[in-house]
């Protein structure tokens, strides 16, 4: 059969990995897809880098004009690996308008502009595939959208940013502070020169937004996500959590509850006995709880050239198989048919129920713990466990660590405000959420 012609926009890490894997495994991929998949044009502002990626393949057109590929009638599928919201959005929408299928790894673009992009694709009868946008080489999009289609998804919780997981794992192993470990991560290439989107939870929020929409059949709602990062996390909290039988992970969580859907990213204490708590380094893992199948775990490399390139090529194979299929019989972009999406509200964080880890620095005086316990009781918060650290010799202050039972976030907010107002409290109360992730 005639080959499918692909135009590749961007030859950075993922673009290079995609090109290399497709070239190396071309015959195997063609056997799976039913016809050859060939990259015939590559665009990058850095022409020298593009030439290095293409190597000794003279039939591949190299250009610094990405739109020339988008407008090329010989191109069947456009692979967008540029990133960002600006030009990438224009290129994707133009490709769709030209009747071309799109494969992208751009989670930020889809989390922010996905509703517009999917609507345009629906109207034109083309596919926008984005397996590589979440968790790199782990086929989590396909698992939730297709593999678990018989299930009513109850919740998803994932370690979906390798940079932050490396930092947290290293802080736990070494006892070193956040800033030092971040510098190491940057030196090793795990963190960007500007790591803000990673360490402040934005990257994970882009990804959990997409998983939430697929799991629950809603439009993407990134602007409603609650986002907290790890930049304020102290080494002593990681140590105390370990002593109590927990590990701290940055989690993306989406959950179906009575009032709507929870959509949140934040550090959380996870029981050390859970498999996901033992995911270390730059690895990713996603737990999905379905009513029929129970809890399922997906683990692997969440980033990198060839792992992410593997996901891009999986999408290329899917699109190739469905290239001539009736659009009405393709798998919907967000798992549910476009006319069946529901505008289920995102639950405000104030109404989210969670258990909590609280660390208080207090003056070592009689009655302090009683005052704290009274404030918690006044706000309908019960204590599950408590540890009081002995003050260092010559110091008049001590740490108290409390684990609470489930309560609403607004109760926790009110209690913390009163505790911080006590004359015996030193500084701010540290609060982290507990996620049992029980199946």
Q: Please write the tens of the pLDDT for every residue from 153-173.
A: 999 999 999 999 999 999 999
Span 221-241, mean pLDDT?
97
Span 277-291, mean pLDDT?
97
Predicted local distance difference test score (pLDDT) of residue 338: 82
Predicted local distance difference test score (pLDDT) of residue 340: 85
Tens digit of each residue's pLDDT (9 = 90 or more) over 379-395? 999 999 999 888 877 78
Tens digit of each residue's pLDDT (9 = 90 or more) over 308-325? 999 999 999 999 998 767
- How far is residue 385's CA from residue 241's CA, in Å, rounded to a whole number? 12
Span 7-27, mean pLDDT?
96
* Res. 425: pLDDT tops 90: yes
DSSP helix, strand, coil percent of the chain (3-state; round to 5): 40, 25, 35
* Res. 56: pLDDT tops 90: no
pLDDT band at residue 408 using 50, 70 and 90 as cut-offs: very high
- Which residues are catalytically annotated? 207
* Cα-Cα-Cα-Cα dihedral sign, residues 397, 398, 399, 403: negative
* Res. 51: pLDDT tops 90: yes
Span 230-243, mean pLDDT?
96
Q: Strands 246-257, 153-159: parallel, antiparallel or unpaired by DSSP? A: antiparallel
Residue 137 Cα distances to 167, 246, 352, angstroms: 21, 28, 32
Domains assigned to the chain: 4-137+305-340 (3.40.50.720), 140-301 (3.30.360.10), 352-434 (3.30.70.260)
- How far is residue 325's CA from residue 338's CA, in Å, rounded to a whole number? 18
Span 141-148, mean pLDDT?
96
pLDDT band at residue 22 using 50, 70 and 90 as cut-offs: very high
* Res. 345: pLDDT tops 90: yes
Q: Name the helix (H) or strand (E) containing 267.
A: strand 260-271
Range scoring the smallest mean pLDDT among 56-60, 97-101, 296-300: 56-60
Q: Pick the closest to residue 254 from 218, 219, 215 (CA basis).
A: 215
Span 319-338, mean pLDDT?
81
Q: What is the mean pLDDT of the chain?
A: 95
């Amino acid at each position: 059969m005639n080959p499918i012609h692909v135009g590749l926009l961007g030859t950075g890490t993922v673009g290079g990995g995609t090109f290399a894997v497709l070239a190396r495994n071309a015959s195997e991929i063609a056997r799976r897809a039913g016809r050859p998949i060939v990259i015939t044009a590559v665009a990058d502002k850095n022409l020298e880098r593009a030439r290095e990626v293409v190597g000794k393949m003279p039939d591949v057109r190299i250009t610094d004009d990405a739109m020339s590929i988008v407008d090329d009638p010989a191109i069947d599928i456009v692979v967008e690996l540029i990133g960002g919201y600006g030009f990438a959005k224009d290129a994707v929408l133009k490709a769709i308008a030209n009747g071309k299928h799109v494969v992208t790894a751009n989670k930020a673009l889809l989390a922010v502009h996905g509703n517009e992009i999917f609507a345009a694709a629906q109207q034109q009868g083309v596919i926008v595939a984005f397996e590589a946008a979440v968790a790199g080489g782990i086929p989590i999009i396909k698992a939730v959208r297709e593999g678990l289609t018989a299930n009513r998804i109850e919740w998803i919780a994932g370690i979906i940013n390798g940079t932050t997981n490396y930092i947290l794992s290293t802080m736990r192993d070494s006892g070193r502070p956040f800033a030092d470990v971040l510098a190491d991560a940057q030196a090793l290439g795990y963190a960007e020169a500007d790591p803000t989107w990673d360490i402040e939870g934005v990257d994970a929020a882009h990804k959990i937004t997409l998983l939430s929409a697929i799991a629950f059949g809603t439009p993407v709602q990134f602007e409603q996500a609650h986002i907290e990062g790890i930049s304020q996390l102290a080494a002593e909290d990681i140590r105390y959590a370990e002593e109590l039988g927990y590990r701290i992970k940055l989690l993306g969580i989406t959950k179906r509850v009575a009032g709507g859907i929870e959509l949140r990213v934040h550090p959380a204490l996870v029981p050390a006995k859970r498999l996901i708590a033992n995911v270390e380094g730059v690895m990713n893992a996603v737990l999905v709880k379905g009513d029929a199948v129970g809890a399922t775990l997906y683990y692997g490399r969440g980033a990198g050239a060839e792992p992410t390139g593997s996901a891009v090529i999986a999408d290329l194979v899917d699109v190739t198989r469905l290239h001539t299929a009736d659009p009405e019989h393709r798998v919907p972009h967000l798992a549910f048919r476009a006319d069946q999406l529901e505008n289920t509200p995102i639950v405000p964080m104030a109404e989210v129920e969670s258990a909590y880890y609280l660390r208080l620095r207090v003056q070592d005086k009689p009655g302090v713990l009683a005052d704290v316990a009274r404030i918690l009781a006044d706000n309908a918060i019960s204590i599950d466990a408590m540890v009081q650290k002995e003050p260092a010799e010559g110091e008049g202050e001590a740490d108290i660590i409390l684990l609470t039972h489930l309560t609403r976030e607004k109760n926790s907010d009110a209690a913390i405000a009163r505790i911080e107002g006590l004359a015996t409290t030193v500084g701010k109360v540290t609060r982290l959420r507990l996620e049992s992730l029980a199946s």
